[in-house]
Amino acid sequence: QLAMPGRSFALFASGACLALLASPSGGMRSAVTPNARGARARSSSAALAMMEVPHHRSKAIEPLRTVEADPRSAKRMQALWDGYEVCRKITASYAKTFYLGTRFMDPDRARSIWAVYAWCRRTDDIVDAPRGGLKYLHKEIALWSQRLDDIWNGRAYDIVDLPLVDTVQRYPDMDIQPFKDMVEGMLMDLRQDRYATFDDLYVYCYRVAGTVGLMTLPIMGTAEGVAHAEAVEPALALGIALQLTNILRDVGEDARRGRIYLPQEDLDRFGVSEEQILSGLLDENYIQLMQFQIARARDYFDKSEDGISKLHPSARMPVRASLDLYRKILERIEVNGYDNFRKRAYVSKLEKFLTLPSSYLKCLEADKQAQEKVAK
């Protein structure tokens, strides 16, 4: 196993809370810079947001060439060390909330989560800025998909692929399909900017966010006596909840790009037209529409909450914190009078600080529930 300097991953202390607030800025699906395809193309864990990172073609990331000849060689081990550090820096610099959440995990799991995050970002980068423009996008995607297959077969093209190769080998229950599904989700933003029904939107939310739960669940692990399959549905529900929250938070931002993610069937139900969304008209019909959408998102948060006690103890705090902090975005939309056209719904650092102790206490309750289940 790769030996790397570790850090103390205490589950909770006031010092840890202060560290969370003082770390480098960025954003895990919160206050991130929108790209040309709109604010939706951000993978959550959220989770997993999209951040600026050297492109897979960048000269800053050279092909490995012969470094893999002997997987036990010092050269390969150094490349693996360097690769994990690149993934860590990507996450720490541009995905603050997500990165800070991983600090509650044990070091091995945290590093693997960073490797998954880096792959997701690079996938978005390809779709968002294809070499040669959209004309060559399908070729780029085909090459990237081949690299994904290579990763599952133990071959890495560069040092940022290498940590994911290592992660897949250390967590053999990982499935390649969610990674392929995410690529399809990124492409959906190029193909459509409207969704007729919630079922249609659900597919999109699954691909760009629910997939992350499936990618990372084998890494996070499950509690003693809990089968992997038992934790899948709550993991999916959290991804859907986070993405629905993003959509509600960014209605105005997306409308300015001519994009509407709210299902057309819901607009019709509440008497809200596309023109009203695009012009930012806030009226009673729109408020009722938002109340309905917020209730739906909260329902998915409730479903995901049931799965926290099913996770390995070291994974509960980051998931619990993400859930609690994202729920507060919904509360902020309400406080803003449902005006997500002109007012940004966000959670302040102080609110994050005040939320973490409550999240920790809920984790203790989840620990208790898990222990009671084992005792039965």
**12, 317 contact by CB (below 8 A):** yes
Q: What is the pLDDT of residue 17?
A: 35
Q: What is the pLDDT of residue 133?
A: 67
In sequence order, the β-bridge partners of residue 45 are 47
With a pLDDT cut of 70, the percent of the chain lying above it is: 79
Q: What is the pLDDT of residue 65?
A: 53
Q: How far is CA 142 from CA 137, 185, 238, 254, in A?
A: 9, 15, 30, 29
Residues of the chain with pLDDT below 70 are: 1-72, 97, 129-133
Would you call 65 exposed, middle or buried from its count of C-beta atoms within 10 A (0-12, 13-18, 19+)? exposed
Q: What is the pLDDT of residue 343?
A: 95
Residue 152 DSSP code:
H
Q: What is the pLDDT of residue 278?
A: 97
Q: What is the pLDDT of residue 8?
A: 29
pLDDT tens digits for 86-130?
999 988 887 776 787 788 888 999 999 999 999 998 888 887 766
Alpha-carbon span 8 to 247, nearest angstrom:
36
Helix (H) / strand (E) containing 45: strand 44-45
Q: How many H-runs (helices) and E-runs (strands) does the chain carry?
A: 16, 2
pLDDT tens digits for 152-166?
999 999 999 999 999
Q: What is the pLDDT of residue 243?
A: 95
Q: How far is CA 352 from CA 19, 22, 252, 357, in A?
A: 12, 12, 24, 9
